[in-house]
Structure formats: structure tokens, C-alpha cells
């Protein structure tokens, strides 16, 4: 599985084997051995491969990867955002109970409404940990008011904390009255609640996110190995 995924990732990145090997600082022979299953890369090289090809290590290893890429990538030029909230949460009392188990204050709350063709699809509520430069992030993310295409993940990448992998838990529930109003939903339509933990190349948490999506308008597609 790893050999196959490595070949596929390199081809999707439009890279020749010799060019990828040069960027990785290894020989072309070594990379060829990885891609033919003769030998496996060590953990450090595996991270470098994932970073070079812009995929996750879980994807390379065939560990239940999702083909979901995030709202912006899934919907491209049809996707936009609407600012809802942005503020520092400085005490535990400010954090929901489930968030407290993942991050400690201060935490930057970044909440937006995600729209496709101007139709509300998802409420995204991100909690950014204090391992990040929160004040600088707050100033940058304020820009979403004027530029609704501003990307949180590209912003994190600019600080050297590129999101690489994520873990998601999905639950189907009835929406609250506030969610019905924000998403402009018809009656009796459930929502998908996705809790997402996003990690950088060093497996450090860079975002704890709660997503609430309309199930009548958002298609959830996953792919995994058996």
C-alpha cells in the first residue's frame, strides 16, 4: 500500500522521480526502492515525503483516508465565508467542556459561516491553541471581513505550522434553533456535527474545530482500505 501511495502522490504532484529525490536529499535509487516496496522510509523521511507531496502520512500509509479536502478545496470558486466571531478566550470558563480536554487558555475562537453559491452550508467554529501566535493570528483573520476567501490553513502555514493531518468524528443530530436560523434550513433536516483535530508535521495540534453542516446540501464522501 505504501509503495502504491508514494507513486500516486508523486504523480499527482507532477514530479519526476529524480526531482523528488533531489528535494528529499536522497538518491533516486532509494526513492525507487520506496516506490517499489523494496524498502520503507524511516519516520522522518515519511514526514518529508508527505510534506513534499502535500498529503498526510496516514494517506500514504493507507489508514482510512478521507477524500474530503476541506470546504474551500471541495467547492473551489463556489465557496466563500461570512464572519461570525473572532476573540480570545482567556479562562477555562470561556471554553465548552469538550474543548477544555483538548486545549488550555488562552485560545483564539474563530467562527465563520461557510457558503456555496451564497447558500449557507456549514458553521465552522475553530479553537486555535496557545502554541500559536494568537495575537498575530487574530489580526490576520480579521481580514476575512473584507476578504471572505482568506484561508485559515494557509495562514497557519505562513507561521511554519502547516496543517498535515486531521482526525474527524461525525455525528448526525437535530439542529438547534440558532443553527436553523444561521443555515436557513427547512424543518426536519438533521445536521452533521464534525469534530476535527488538525495536526502539523510534528503531530502538534494546530486546530480543534467543530463543524455543523446541512445534510441536505453537503455530500460526505470517504474512502478507506479493507
- pLDDT, tens digit, for every residue of 105-157? 999 999 999 998 889 999 999 999 999 999 999 999 999 999 988 999 999 99
Residue 226: pLDDT band (50, 70, 90) is very low
| pLDDT for res 225 | 55
Asked whether residue 93 is domain-assigned, the answer is: yes
Query: Is 198's pLDDT higher than 80?
Result: yes
Helices (H), the chain: 2-12, 17-24, 28-35, 43-53, 57-61, 71-75, 97-100, 134-141, 152-158, 177-183
Do 103 and 199 reside in the same domain of the chain?
yes
The domain that holds 102 is classified in CATH as: 3.40.1410.10
Q: Mean pLDDT across the stretch 180-206? A: 92
Residue 77 placed within a domain: yes
In a domain, 188, yes or no: yes
**Residue bearing the bigger pLDDT, 40 or 225:** 40
Q: Which residues contact 226 (CB under 8 A, 6 or more apart)?
A: none
Q: What is the largest CA-CA distance in the chain?
A: 60
Q: Are residues 97 and 200 located together in one domain of the fold?
A: yes
Say whether both 97 and 176 belong to one domain: yes
Q: Give residue 111's domain range.
A: 71-214
Decide: pTM greater than 0.75: no
Question: Mean pLDDT, the chain, as a whole number?
Answer: 89
Give the model's confidence band at 187: pLDDT under 50 very low, under 70 low, under 90 confident, else very high.
confident
User: Which of 54-58, 83-87, 138-142 bottoms out in mean pLDDT, i.e. has the lowest?
Assistant: 54-58
Number of domains in the chain: 2
Q: State the Cα–Cα distance between residues 30 and 43, nearest whole angstrom.
A: 15
Amino acid at each position: 500500500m505504501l509503495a502504491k501511495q508514494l507513486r500516486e502522490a508523486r504523480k499527482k504532484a507532477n514530479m519526476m522521480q529524480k526531482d523528488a529525490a533531489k528535494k528529499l536529499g536522497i538518491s533516486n535509487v532509494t526513492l525507487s526502492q520506496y516506490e517499489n516496496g523494496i524498502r520503507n522510509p524511516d519516520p522522518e523521511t515519511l514526514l518529508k515525503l508527505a510534506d513534499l507531496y502535500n498529503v498526510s502520512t496516514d494517506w500514504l500509509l493507507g489508514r482510512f483516508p478521507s477524500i474530503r479536502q476541506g470546504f474551500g478545496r471541495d467547492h473551489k470558486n463556489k465557496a466563500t465565508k461570512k464572519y461570525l466571531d473572532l476573540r480570545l478566550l482567556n479562562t477555562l470558563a470561556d471554553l465548552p467542556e469538550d474543548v477544555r480536554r483538548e486545549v488550555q487558555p488562552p485560545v483564539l475562537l474563530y467562527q465563520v459561516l461557510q457558503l456555496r453559491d451564497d447558500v449557507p452550508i456549514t458553521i465552522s467554529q475553530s479553537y486555535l491553541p496557545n502554541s500559536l501566535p494568537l495575537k498575530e493570528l487574530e489580526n490576520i483573520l480579521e481580514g476575512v471581513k473584507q476578504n471572505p476567501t482568506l484561508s485559515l490553513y494557509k495562514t497557519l502555514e505562513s507561521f511554519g505550522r502547516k496543517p498535515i493531518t486531521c482526525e474527524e468524528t461525525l455525528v448526525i443530530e437535530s439542529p438547534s434553533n440558532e443553527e436553523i436560523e444561521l443555515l436557513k434550513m427547512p424543518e426536519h433536516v438533521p445536521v452533521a456535527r464534525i469534530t476535527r483535530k488538525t495536526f502539523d508535521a510534528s503531530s502538534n495540534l494546530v486546530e480543534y474545530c467543530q463543524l455543523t453542516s446541512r445534510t441536505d446540501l453537503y455530500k460526505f464522501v470517504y474512502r478507506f482500505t479493507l
